[in-house]
Structure 1
Amino acid sequence: MNIEFKKPTENDAKKIATWKYDGIYSFYDNDKTEAKQQWVLNIHNEENTFVMYNENNELIGNCSFSYDDEEKEYMLGVQMRPDLTGKGMGTEVVKAILNFGRETYKFNELVLLVAKFNKRAIKIYERLGFKTIEEFMLHVNGEDKEFLAMKIAW
């Protein structure tokens, strides 16, 4: 799969804002809270946010890289289009994100947060070399959930 990273457009933001996930993954729905809906509708204004398109010019997901000044580290955010999740392409997509991020931001380590129930994502991250560095509760999308902080270093 060939993935192209682009700056999001307003049209991309409108599409992403409609994404809804099945079952327990509905936690990630982009209309879950007003705050999340507003963030998604404005991702085209975010400096370090990108959309991903496949070789057929189809929007397949988005990612963001933010720098935490306090921790002196880059944080990764990832979202795949709902109908593409659980199809066995996550490792390839995340690997492409990591390569793009390292080329663009020149980081040597990267941290991400993932809901502890999201075993599919955790398996992908572990396969690529991420290690759990912390477990904690976080109030996100109107719910208290257990999260893992995971880190990879090169």
Structure 2
Amino acid sequence: MAEKVWQSLPDELFSLLQKERFVTLATIDHETGVPNVSAISWVYAPSKSEVRIAVASRSRIVENIKANPSAVLNLIGAGSCYSIAGEAKVAVEKMDGVSIKLSRIDLAVKEVRDVMFYGARISVDPEYEKTYDKEAADKLDRQVLEALKA
């Protein structure tokens, strides 16, 4: 089977990135120079060529991207595993309208690859649950999504 490669988000992935979703983000550590992978849920794609990510302003991700903008977002969904590579930037140091200090990272999509190993498909998308106050979590999630859309 030929490897699937796109220059922007295919329709199905774009649709998946219209709401909160479990993804991982790989950056290059600004101190050690080795890859650093973080789990993230606050993502939103305003277009097929950009993905916005909200992270704690004190997150290592922020310093990593300032030092080296190369980043890869890994998304599991639509029956497969996808690598979304591009150039990231800290677009907003402190997002307005959010009750905690978050930064917005914008990833300019350069390449999307289906990286699932041969002969398999994802049968169940990853799931998670918030382990703190549900009402507070829902309120914060709404604030973050609105800020990512702004």
Answer 1 or 2: higher relative contact order, Cα 8 Å, separation at least 6.
2
TM-score norm. by structure 1 comes to: 0.29
More helix by share: 1
TM-score norm. by structure 2 comes to: 0.29
More strand by share: 2
